[in-house]
Structure 1
Amino acid sequence: MRGIQILDFSMNNISGSIPKCLNNLTNLAVRGSSRLAITHTYNVTSIHFYDYYDDEASLIWKGVTSKYKSTLGLAKSIHLSSNRLTREIPSKITDLVGLVSLNLSRNNLTGQITPAIRKSALLQSLDLSSNQMYGRIPSSLLQIYGLGRLDLSNNLSRKIPMGTQLQSYDPSDFAWNPLLCGIPLQQLCSPKETSPDEQPVFRDQEKDGLITSGFYVSLALGFVVGFWRVCGSLIFIRSWRYIYYKFLNCVYNWLYVKIALFRRRRMIDG
C-alpha cells in the first residue's frame, strides 16, 4: 500500500510492536502533495464514458473530528492510539517526512524519543501520551516549527529544552512526568541541569538579573559625575552662571507673557 496517506487503526485491540516497514509507505515519505483534492474516475456506460468524484475522509484532528475533501491531499496521518502496542517506536518512522499528524497515545510503548524526530518537520500534531516512554525530551524537537499540538505525558525526565516553542505549551502537555523539570512546569531544575541564562522566571518572581551591585555603583557614579559637571560649572565659572540665569529669566518672561495673553483672550471671548 505504497500510496496510502491515512493509516488509522486506533481504538482496536492490536498487540505486538509497530512494524518496522512503515517507511515503505512511500506516499508518507514525500513532503506535501501535487494535488490538494484526490480525484477518482470510473466507467459509467458501456461506451467507455468516464466520470469522476473527489475522495473525502474524516480525521480526528486536535481532539475534534473533521472532514477533509478539498485539502485531503495534504492530510497525511498515522493514528494507532488506544491499542496494546509494545516495545519501542521504530526509528524508520522518522523517514515519513510528509506526516502532519502522528498519534501513538494510549499504548504500552517504551524507549526514548529519538533525536531524529527533527526530520518530521511538517508535523503539526504529535501525541505520545499515556505510554511508558522514558528519558529526556530531545532538543531536536525545537526544529519542528509548525507543531501546534503536543502531548508527551509519559515517564520522561530531566530538563525541558529551552527555546521559543516548548515553553509556550500548557503544563498539562507534560503531565505525568514526575522527573521532568523546567518551563512551563513549576518544578525547577537543579543547578547542574540549568545554566544561568536558562534560569526559569515565574510570575511571582520579581528579581531582575540586570539589577546587580555593579548596576547601583554605575548609577551612583553617573549621577555624581553628571550633577557636578553641570552644577560645578555654574558655581566656579562666573560667565556661565550669568548666561544660565539670563536664560532662565528670558524663559520666565516668555511664559509670563504667553499666560497673560491667554488669560486675556479667554476673558474677551467669555
Structure 2
Amino acid sequence: MPSLTDLDISRNSLNGSIPLSMGNLTGFRSDLTNKDTDDYLYQGRLKVVAKGRVLEYNTILYLVNSVDLSDNNLSGEMPVGLTSLTRLGTLNLSMNHLIGNIPAKIGDLERIETLDLSSNKFSGPIPQSMVSLTFLNHLNLSYNNLSGKIPTSNQFETFDASIYEGNAGLCGHPLPNCQGGKETPEVPGGDDEDDDSKLDKLWLIFSIVIGFCFGFWGVCGTLVIKKSWRYAYFNFADKVYAYVLAILKKRS
C-alpha cells in the first residue's frame, strides 16, 4: 500500500502484536520526491481523532498522515519500525495492551503533532529524544507504568500534569520533584533554620543541667557547710517522719 497516508482501524477487536511491516508504509515516509506526492492528491472527506478531538478534513488530504490503532486488544511491544514513518502527523495507540519501553528512536517522528499512548502497559522512562519533537502539541501518556524523571525543555515545559496521570513512578515538572535528585529544591534558609533549632535545643538542655546543679548544690552544699542548718534540717525531717508514721498508725 505505497499510497496509503491515513490508516484508521480503531475501535475493533484486533488482537496480537502490531505487524513489523507497518514500518514499510512508504506513504508515511519523508523520503518522497515531488513526483511521488502527485499520487496522493485525491478528493474526499476524512475524519481523524487528533489532539483529543475529532477533526474533519476535505482538502490537502495527503498531508493528514494519521495512524489510529486505538481501542483494540493489541499486545506486545511498539515496533521500532513505526518510528521510521517520519511523515506521521498523528499516532494513536491508546487503549490497548502494549508493553515494554517506548522506543528511544521515537524522536525520529519529526513531524508528529499528536501522540497518544495512553491506557497501555508501557514501562521504563520517557525517552529523552522526545524533546526534539518540536511540532508535538498534544501528548497523552496517562495510565501506563512509566517511571523516572520527565524530560525537560521545549514543549515538555508546557504540558499539563494530567497527561502523566496513572504513572506512579514518574516525577519532575509538572509532577512532584524527584527524590534524591538534583531537581529537589532547597528551601531558602532551611539549613540556617535547622542550625538555629539545634542551637536552641542545646541551650535549653544546658540551662536545665546548670539549673539542677545550682539547685541541688544550693541546698546540699549549704547543709554540708553549715552544721547548724544540717542539724535543723535532719531534725525537721525526723519530726515529719514521726508525724506521718503516727497518722498511718491511727488509720490502721
Do both share a fold (TM > 0.5)? Answer: yes
- The amino acid of 1:71's aligned partner reads I
The Cα shift of 1:69 comes to: 2.0
| 1:116 aligned residue | 105
Q: Identity of aligned pairs, percent?
A: 37
- Aligned partner of 1:133 in structure 2 is 122
1:175 is aligned to: 165
Amino acid at match of 1:80: L
Q: Which amino acid aligns with 1:63?
A: G
> How far 1:39 moved relative to its partner?
4.2
1:92 corresponds to:
81
Report how far residue 159 of structure 1 moved: 0.7
**Where do 5+ consecutive residues of structure 2 fail to align?**
193-252
Tell me whether 55-64 or 168-177 shows the greater mean CA deviation.
Answer: 55-64
Q: Where do residues 211-250 of structure 1 align in structure 2 (5 Å cutoff)? A: none
Deviation at 1:199, TM superposition (A): 4.4
CA contact under 8 A between 1:156 and 1:180: conserved in structure 2? yes
- Tell me, what secondary structure is at the counterpart of 1:133? strand
Is residue 2:19 matched to residue 1:22? Answer: no
Relative to structure 1, the CA distance from residue 109 to residue 175 in structure 2 (aligned partners, 3 Å threshold; closer, same or farther) is: same
The alignment partner of 2:151 has SS state of coil
Task: Tell me, yes or no, if structure 1 residue 63 matches structure 2 residue 52.
Answer: yes
Structure 1 residues not aligned, in runs of 5+: 41-53, 213-270
Map Cα deviations across residues 244-269 of structure 1 (whole Å, 9 max, x no partner). xxxxxxxxxxxxxxxxxxxxxxxxxx
Please give the per-residue CA displacement for 1:41-72, whole angstroms capped at 9, x wherever unaligned.
xxxxxxxxxxxxx2331111222222212221
Determine the structure 1 residue equivalent to 2:67: 78
**C-alpha distance in 1 between matches for 2:65 and 2:109:** 12
Distance 1:200 1:140 in 2: 25
Deviation at 1:126, TM superposition (A): 0.3
> Secondary structure, in 3 states, of the residue corresponding to 1:2?
coil
Q: Hey, what does 2:203 align to over in structure 1?
A: none
Aligned pairs, how many?
187
- Amino acid corresponding to residue 76 of structure 1 in structure 2: N
Distance 2:127 2:5 in 1: 27
Q: Aligned partners of 2:49 and 2:155: how far apart in 1?
A: 24
SS at match of 2:49: strand
1:102 matches 2:97: no
Distance 1:57-1:31 versus aligned 2 partners, 3 A rule? farther
31 and 69 in structure 1: CA distance in 2 versus 1, 3 angstrom threshold: farther
Shift of 1:31: 6.3
Supply the AA of the counterpart residue of 1:140.
Answer: S
How far has the Cα of 1:73 moved from its partner?
Answer: 1.5
Q: Say yes or no: does 1:147 pair with 2:147.
A: no
Q: How far did residue 32 of structure 1 move?
A: 8.3
Aligned counterparts of 1:5 and 1:123: Cα–Cα separation in 2:
14
Amino acid at match of 2:17: S
TM-score normalised by length of structure 2? 0.68
Cα RMSD after superposing both structures? 2.4
Provide the C-alpha distance between the structure 2 equivalents of 1:145 and 1:168, rounded to a whole number of angstroms: 12
- Select 1:165's aligned residue among 151, 155, 166: 155
CA distance in structure 2 between the partners assigned to 1:200 and 1:36 by the alignment? 55
